[in-house]
Structure 1
Amino acid sequence: MKSGVEGIKNVFIVTSGKGGVGKSTIACQLAMGLAKKGLKVGLLDLDLCGPSVPRIMGLCDASVQQCPEGWLPVVADVVYKNIFVMSIAFLLKEKDFAVAWRGPRKNSMIDQFLSKVVWGQLDALVIDTPPGTSDEHISVVEKIREYSSSALRGAIIVSTPQRVAICDIRRQLTFCTKLGLSVIGLIENMSGFECPNCKESLYLFATGGVEALAKEKAIDFLGTLLST
């Protein structure tokens, strides 16, 4: 089996301007949606300081195995047997351990996740990145281009409908432009919730801001999701 990302056909980066918008959940849902179509999918949790993918995928007690080629990702067989998950949470001896690393060490870890994990032949790799615009984002884009430039498809940006969150999207879009990273589309998450009794959709905030921004920037609007 191949280690690194050379055998991966498509790489999708899921990001957000701020935390708490459901970015990691969207990344997991995207991976599961692709797997449901019969694709072989990798799911990489690059939120080093706040890894939540293992919990979302029901893999809190999982750990990675070492082989001569590198780390073997965890198979999420509780959902679909064709999703392969990697997270720093699998490498921590204590689940409550706080990762307080400076940039160079984070960048080294990102490089290892992209070059030393035995991903094998994948149809798609979904990468959950930290919120905001940081050194980690620059590192992951540069490393993917270095190892497999043709596989990088672009970024999916997740936001909630609040004005503050939408302002953060604008900064995220500027950041993607500076990196030369194409934006696949925007998602408005947690727009409201469905009443469990009458099933009516109730909206706590003004909606449509993310869609309007997508139209303004000529970017695809991928849809609106309610809280569940």
Structure 2
Amino acid sequence: MSASVSTISDAIQAALATVNDPEIRRPITELGMVRAATVGDDGVVRVELLLTVAGCPLKDKLRADITAAVGGVPGVAGVEIEFGVMSPEQRQELQSKLRGGGGAEPVIPFAQPGSRTRVYAVASGKGGVGKSSVTVNLAAALAARGLSVGVVDADIYGHSVPRMLGAEGAPTRVEDMIMPPQAHGVKVISIGMFTPGNAAVVWRGPMLHRALQQFLADVYWGDLDVLLLDLPPGTGDIAISVAQLLPNAEILVVTTPQTAAAEVAERAGAIALQTHQRVVGVIENMSWMELPDGSRMEVFGAGGGQAVADSLSRTIGAQVPLLGQIPLDTRVREGGDAGLPIVLAQPDAAAAQAMGAVADRLAVRRESLLGKPLGLKPAGR
């Protein structure tokens, strides 16, 4: 082979290495997806690409990304792509590569001692306080700040996160590993992605626990900075399962200013006493409505969020701050219905600004103590 062809081949490989798999977000060359890449005498590059599964929903994006990357190499006259499918052995090898071990039982990475992912369990005492709206907007805001974010729609019976986040794709399976769809830079998984149409989920506690376990262990999340769990209202099976599966999860309590809602929210936060989890703070949603004349209408009363924060601080014996007050805005609902969170659609809106401020307070990656000297010395006798 001449030196010039060798140089072009090297450049083609380098170009292919810049193309990431849209679901795994790692280079296709690193994942073993490029079976061959040859350049003919006519300058046309022929790439043989192995998809993880037949009928990959992101096949067209891969074609476009590879064509753009390889087509930009000097001396390349055209790009032809032939798609194949990985064999079961190749998929197993890919799964082992992604999980960092061979054939080991799936584990929950966020529960491991060295995990640097901050896990926030978004809880509420009762339904209708806007917990899911807060969750998806916080996720979108954190992703917009450059963090790697995932959301588990743990509200199995009342799942709504995929629609509110605009995640329309279906999960892809690689052997027994699940690739979560993404929207606005946020990875998301929900039971709604596995049920036909708008079918109801009628499960008892053990099945709920197993579903949550699979969402955490079988889904390939990658290296997340933040994982948000949208919990169902109350202190039932899922809240208990989260405490068991993710003992390091921090509880984020959502309430409205209404006294009745605040009293119930206190019970949702007080579960931390029994599960030994940290309550990171309280968010008061629908705090007021701003009127055209600049005044505020407190539709649901006032003071509920601060009351919950003060009560939890006394009950737990540690400071629980009121992280923010989110004004009532119809555009929050509109954004949820359209799959475009208000923090992205209307970033200057008061509700978006308030949720962005809460995101700033939560955007801190956990520092791992694994392998770090703590500077401790044994006490002398």
Per the normalisation by structure 1, the TM-score is 0.88
Does the 8 Å CA contact 2:286/2:300 hold for their aligned counterparts? no
Deviations along 1:134-182, one digit per CA (max 9) or x if unpaired, are: 011111221123xxxxxx3411000011111111022113212111111
Deviations along 1:54-110, one digit per CA (max 9) or x if unpaired, are: 111112x4211111251110111xx2x3x101111111122x201110111111111
Distance 1:65 1:4, change over 3 A: farther
- SS of the residue aligned with 2:301? coil
Does the 8 Å CA contact 2:256/2:304 hold for their aligned counterparts? no
Q: Counterpart in 2 of 1:222? A: 323
Matches within 5 A, 1:19-98: 19-59=127-167, 61-76=168-183, 79=184, 81=185, 83-94=186-197, 96-98=198-200
| Runs ≥4 residues deviating over 6 A | none
- The alignment status of 1:133 with 2:231, answered yes or no, reads no
2:290 to 184, 187, 194: 194
CA distance in structure 1 between the partners assigned to 2:134 and 2:259 by the alignment: 20
- Amino acid in the other structure paired with 2:274: K
Does the 8 Å CA contact 1:70/1:116 hold for their aligned counterparts? yes
Does the 8 Å CA contact 1:157/1:185 hold for their aligned counterparts? yes
Unpaired stretches in structure 1, ≥5 consecutive residues: 146-151
Aligned length: 215
Unpaired stretches in structure 2, ≥5 consecutive residues: 1-97, 100-105, 314-318, 330-381
RMSD of the alignment, in Å?
1.7
Q: Counterpart in 2 of 1:175? A: 271
How far the C-alpha of 1:199 sits from its partner, in A, is 4.5
CA distance in structure 2 between the partners assigned to 1:169 and 1:97 by the alignment: 29
Which shifted more, 2-11 or 110-119?
2-11
- Identical-residue share of aligned pairs (%): 36
CA distance in structure 2 between the partners assigned to 1:106 and 1:200 by the alignment: 45
2:224 to 122, 139, 160: 122
Q: Counterpart in 2 of 1:106? A: 208
CA distance in structure 2 between the partners assigned to 1:161 and 1:69 by the alignment: 44
Does the 8 Å CA contact 2:255/2:304 hold for their aligned counterparts? no
Per the normalisation by structure 2, the TM-score is 0.54
How far the C-alpha of 1:219 sits from its partner, in A, is 1.1
CA distance in structure 1 between the partners assigned to 2:256 and 2:302 by the alignment: 9
- SS of the residue aligned with 1:105? helix
Does the 8 Å CA contact 2:263/2:308 hold for their aligned counterparts? no
